[in-house]
Structure 1
């Protein structure tokens, strides 16, 4: 069973600021509850072909995987993929100005892939857990960015 989870949120901050912060994988441990660490495998900053090693905890398991950025349009869209581990996955972000004044951002976070091994047994449970985690992560990002520039450096 394939997993495809899309969540979105509106953040009261300009699109450029939200995208610049969220597109930098170094910030992931600050707003992703399950990301423990990120280590660059290629030189920063993020660009197509950049690779980063992530360590995460999810559903009681420790996961290590390397993402590669496969598409990047600064301020608009970022796509990363991994073929490693029990859950080869693609993660994508989009950002667009929201509201009449354009000082808000609509951000989407999408994770999709086809689990194997332990993850394939409970794909429905996995999907529900991912949806909950993504909502929490976007809420955490929103709170962080709405506190101001000093909070989300």
Structure 2
């Protein structure tokens, strides 16, 4: 069971949702704590691909490397932090609704602290996530529906 789990319905197809959420450069558009996100490797995104994400954690900006651990388009993805004091474990699912015309997006998050992160996770990261995750999903919904699914690269 994950520490955090949120679900939201979106008026976009699973393919449209997938195209948007799997592109790292979109993270700062719908995740309030994300300052920046950049690919660290070339080629199509898949298991083993890495992304450097810089996040506001409390009053700090903390860079962390995330690695794709699951990639099942357009249904599910997973990412795991592999460095930094706070290492997130993310699982996302996209389920079709209304014969594939709409989608249900579910995000599950867990965190692991290393060094300073052992203090940050319970005192800062979890309270921040509890507040931020529902808003992030709402921003994701708004962004997808405004852009007609966010089709196309940035």
- Smaller-chain TM-score bracket: 0.7 to 0.9
Tell me how far apart the structure 2 counterparts of residues 13 and 60 of structure 1 sit (CA, whole Å).
35
Deviation by residue 1:44-92 (Cα, 9 ceiling, x = unmatched): 4311111111111122211101111111001011111113122222112
**Root-mean-square deviation (Å):** 2.1
Deviation by residue 1:119-149 (Cα, 9 ceiling, x = unmatched): 4346165323212211111110101111133
Q: How many aligned residue pairs are there? A: 150
Following superposition, which runs of at least 4 residues in structure 1 exceed 3 angstroms of deviation? 116-122, 150-153
Matched residue, 1:50:
49
Tell me how far apart the structure 1 counterparts of residues 102 and 150 of structure 2 sit (CA, whole Å).
17
Q: Does 1:133 align with 2:132?
A: yes
Contact 2:79 2:91 in 1 (8 A): yes
Unaligned runs of 5+ in 1: none
Tell me how far apart the structure 2 counterparts of residues 149 and 42 of structure 1 sit (CA, whole Å).
28
Unaligned runs of 5+ in 2: none
Q: Secondary structure at the match of 1:131?
A: helix
* TM superposition score normalised by structure 2: 0.86
* TM superposition score normalised by structure 1: 0.86
